[in-house]
Each structure stands twice: as C-alpha cells, then as structure tokens.
Amino acid sequence: MKRTTGILLVALLLCGLGLAAGAPTARADADADAVAALKLLQKQKTPAGRLKVIRTLITVGGDRAARALARLVQRDASAEVRVGAARALGLIKSDVALRELMTLVQAGGPRAVRAAVGRALGRRTGAVAEARKILEGRRAGRIERALMLRALGFFRDAESLDVLRAFARHEDVHLRGEAVRAIVTRVEMPAKRRALVRSVLAGGRTVDELMPALDAAAEILDPSLEDVLQRVSTFLERPLRESSEHLLDNLTSMAADAAAAEGGPKKAAPKKPKPGRYADGGPPPTDGPPPLPRMRGMTDTMYVVDATGSTNSTLAWLKARILHDMEVLLHAGVNVRVGILLYRGGRVVGGPASPFEVVPLPSDIHRLGAFLESVKPRGVDDRGARVGAALEQALARSSWRWRARRTVHFYADGPCGDIHLARRVVGIHFRADRTRTRFTYVTRTRNSVPEEYAELARLGGTGVAEVLR
C-alpha cells in the first residue's frame, strides 16, 4: 500500500512539472503566432488585406494582438478597417482588450467606429462596472462621460440601462441629453422607439428634457408623432419651436411625396385672384409681418479657434464674425447647433492645465453669446500650434446629430505643428461621415495661406482655404 501511494505521488509530481513546463511553451507559441500576424499586417497595403489579418488576430488572441487592434481602431486610414478591428476587440481572448476599449470609447471617432466600439465593449465581461468608474469618478471630464453614455446605448443588459436612466435625471444638461439619446438608441423595434419618444414629448416641460427627444424623433419620423410635435411647437422657447416646426414641415413633405408616389389626385388649379388693391400685377403688400422662414434642414457646426496670446488683436473680430454667422443661419430658417473649441499651448489634455476649452453642441445656441464675450487670449504655442490635436477633439469627440450636415470651421494664425495627425483626422472624418472642415488663415506674419492648410482644406472636402487680412 505504501509503495502504491508513493508511485501515485511521484506520478502527480511529474504531471505537475509537465504542465508547468507546457504553459510557458503555449504562451511562447501564441506570442510567436501574434508576431508573425503583426508582421503580415504591416505588409498589407489594402483594407481587404488588413481585414483578413484582423480575423487571424482574433484566432491568435493574446494581449499583443489586442494592443495592435486598438492601434488600428485609432489610426487606420480606412473606416472599414477601424470598424473590423473594433469588432475584433469584442471577441478576442485577452486581458487587456477591455482596458483598450475603454480608452477607445473616450477617444470618439467616426459614427460607425463609435458604434462598433460600443457594441464590442458590451460583449466584454465587467464593462458596466468599468463604465461606472468613469461616469462616477472625478478624473473624467464632461466630454468623456458623454462619450461613455453614448456607448452604453449599444449595450443590451439591464444594469447599463439603469445607469442611463439615472443620468437621464442628471443636473448636467449635456449629460442628461446624451443619456436620453442612448436610451432611445437601445430600443431596436421602431414602434417601441416611437412610443418612447412620444411619451417624452407628451410629458416633457423643459428645453433640456425635450430637445434630445426631438433629435430622436428626427430619425424615426412618423405621422403618429404629429400631435405631440404640435404640442411642443406651442412652447415659448425658440429652440423647441424651431425644431418641432422643422419636423412638422418634414411630415408635410413626406405626406406630399407619398401622395405623388401613389398617383394621388392632381393639385387643383390656382384660383383667379379677386380684383383688388394688388390684383393684375400690382406691387406686393408691404404692410403686416413678413412670412416665417421655412426650416431648411439640420446643421451642426463646431468653431475651432486659436485663443493664444498671438490673437490679441484679432480675437474680438473673430468672435463678432462667429456670432454673425450664427444669426444668419437662424434667420435663414436652419435648424442649427453650434459649438466652440478654443485651443492654446500646452501638452496636458484634460484638467485645469488643458490646452482646450470646449462648449459642446448645445440645444440653445444663444447660450454661446455669453461664453464668447468672456473669452480672453492667453497662453503660447510652446511646441507649435496644436492644430491636429484640436481638430481631433472637434471632429472625433463632438456630440454630432448624425442626420445633420456637419461642418468644422477652423481659424488659425500660425503654422500647423502636428500635420500628420491633422491629415489623418480630417481625411477619415470626411471619407467616413462627410464631415467637412473649412480652414481660415488670419494673416499675421505671412500674406498667403501656409501650404499645410491648403492641403488640409482639400482633404476636408472644402477645396481651398480662406485668407483674412
């Protein structure tokens, strides 16, 4: 009996040694496969080739492959490759995939990439707990929290829905709106989504409560929403009236198009005007109020402005121009949202030392007037103008309405210090989402537009850069 027990102990010891030796071997084999796949990835010149290697990286797994996929999501020139890499991060076997996805959520990106990152994060175990840390912690700023709330709209579990419901009653207007939009995004059935939007529009009382629901209604517009839109159009707040009337105009156009498609009755001939003061080609009436302008569609615009000390003599004029542009859009009947991003010198992003000062796209653009009046030029471009970083903030992290026409207006008076980043971010957002970037160079030391801005204007879909002297 003692001999048998001794033999068993020796056998178990040998098995343990074999397993211990086998584990490093397996890890070494996985690392070797990952290295081979990454070398193959560097050789691929086409998006189709990179997507094929991404599928290989999912099979290989490991932390090295996960980090490579995260770099693709951030830097690849193809939106399709970015989306494929984000999906892979939701499937790959890796301990760092969750951490990389949390970083990618806060980085933003084109619409399809944001959606893919959100869905991939929803597949990872422990994602809701990590999201709570960011949303309830003190380190994350307003924009980081808003991006995280938007990502929770692609989750499908009950715990994340509870988080969104809590933030839908948050004191911060911007976070409250993002939570409402995320809740509407989660509802997959169109009928249920319309019912949710209808309930908010029927019971809401404030601008901050109703504007996100109106944004959601624009994506699921249906005649069943007409009565609640009529209710909102009676509110005194100008943003609510403009947005609801815009949607009611769209419903009228949809009904006319449907009647024409079905071969409906022909329009009656216009009645002959009765003889009177303005009959027979007389002058048009001048008494009475002018007709209200029709809404011409949705427009989201971000102004990116250099606010360093070098703009001391020009910043006041630029602020006046921005306010004038906003008024022109409003009087033209455009359903418009306007945001501002000021960039300065410095290397720290976030916190009190941040080189950026951002007002996200608000529901009421009239709030921006007081902010613009308070802006003072300060700081220096210690390492060259942070043009690329500022463009990345404005293009990748803004709370765009995705059915709106999106434009970034960039004002600079110095050279671009990070041209490679600027090229990448401007190009990918124009190709993926048709977000146009307009460049205006305020002459200070040069009489012509620097070549880098002319190139960025072409990449951003606007063709040429404007010069202000």
Residue 82 sits in a domain of what CATH number? 1.25.10
In this structure, are 427 and 406 located in the same domain? Answer: yes
Q: How high is the pLDDT of residue 269?
A: 55
Question: For 159-209, how does the pLDDT look when each residue is reduced to its tens digit (9 = 90+)?
Answer: 999 999 899 888 888 888 888 888 888 887 778 888 888 988 998 887 777
Q: How high is the pLDDT of residue 266?
A: 54
In this structure, are 154 and 206 located in the same domain? Answer: no
Which H or E run includes 302?
strand 298-306
In this structure, are 432 and 326 located in the same domain? Answer: yes
Instruction: Write down which residue in 208, 241, 257 finishes a domain.
Output: 257
Domain-located, residue 271 = no
Domain-located, residue 287 = no
Q: How high is the pLDDT of residue 4?
A: 55
In this structure, are 165 and 68 located in the same domain? Answer: yes
Per the structure, the count of domains in the chain is: 3
Q: How high is the pLDDT of residue 314?
A: 74
In this structure, are 357 and 429 located in the same domain? Answer: yes
In this structure, are 71 and 151 located in the same domain? Answer: yes
Decide: 175 and 146 in contact? Cβ < 8 Å: yes
In this structure, are 45 and 170 located in the same domain? Answer: yes
Q: How high is the pLDDT of residue 203?
A: 85
Q: How high is the pLDDT of residue 435?
A: 94
Q: How high is the pLDDT of residue 271?
A: 56
> Per-residue DSSP letters for 309-375?
GGGTTTHHHHHHHHHHHHHHHHHTT-EEEEEEEEE-S-S--SSTT-SEEEE---S-GGGHHHHHHH-
Domain-located, residue 151 = yes
Domain-located, residue 362 = yes
210 vs 239: CA distance, rounded Å: 10
In this structure, are 151 and 215 located in the same domain? Answer: no
Q: How high is the pLDDT of residue 29?
A: 54
Domain-located, residue 49 = yes
Q: What is the pTM of this model?
A: 0.79
Q: How high is the pLDDT of residue 239?
A: 79
Domain-located, residue 17 = no
Range of the domain at 121: 34-185
Instruction: Write down which residue in 165, 185, 205 finishes a domain.
Output: 185
Decide: 438 and 407 in contact? Cβ < 8 Å: yes
Decide: 97 and 124 in contact? Cβ < 8 Å: yes
- The stretches in the chain having pLDDT less than 50 are 2, 8-10, 12-14, 17, 19-21, 23, 26, 275-295, 347-353
Instruction: Write down which residue in 155, 185, 215 finishes a domain.
Output: 185
In this structure, are 435 and 310 located in the same domain? Answer: yes
408 vs 125: CA distance, rounded Å: 37
Strand partners, 165: none
Domain-located, residue 421 = yes
Q: How high is the pLDDT of residue 380?
A: 62
End-to-end CA separation in angstroms for the chain: 100
In this structure, are 149 and 210 located in the same domain? Answer: no
Q: Is 168 exposed, middle or buried (0-12, 13-18, 19+ CB in 10 A)?
A: buried
In this structure, are 214 and 147 located in the same domain? Answer: no
In this structure, are 247 and 217 located in the same domain? Answer: yes
152 closest CA partner among 174, 180, 172, 173: 180
